[in-house]
Amino acid sequence: MVTVRLHLDDCPESNGPLRVIPASHRLGLLSRPQIQAAVGSAKAEIITARAGDALLMRPLILHASSPAAEAVHRRVLHLEFAPSDLLQRGLEWAETA
């Protein structure tokens, strides 16, 4: 699978940009304690973007949005793509609190 994020607005550091742990998608599906350990032992990279930029990433990469310091838009179209054979096997979404 791959994720494409199309930025509709500028997202500088002051507007709550995405933070990612580089190469963390290679660790596979992680439990909450494994995520906390990975985040604690790695430096997050801040991904700023301009309106019209596209970001491609693997869905399993550890990521989060930073808090915005300004009250401005940071709209993004977030699209997930997967090969059709993966979708034919069915997907299960896990929501945790």
Give per-residue pLDDT as tens, 5-30: 999 999 999 998 999 999 999 988 89
CATH of domain 2-88: 2.60.120.620
**pTM (predicted TM-score):** 0.75
Domain limits, the chain: 2-88
- Angle among Cα 19, 6, 43 to the nearest 5 degrees reads 10
Give per-residue pLDDT as tens, 43-77: 999 999 999 999 999 989 999 987 888 888 889 99
Q: Residues 6 or more apart from 92 whose CB is under 8 A from it?
A: none
Q: β-strands 18-20, 2-7: how paired?
A: unpaired
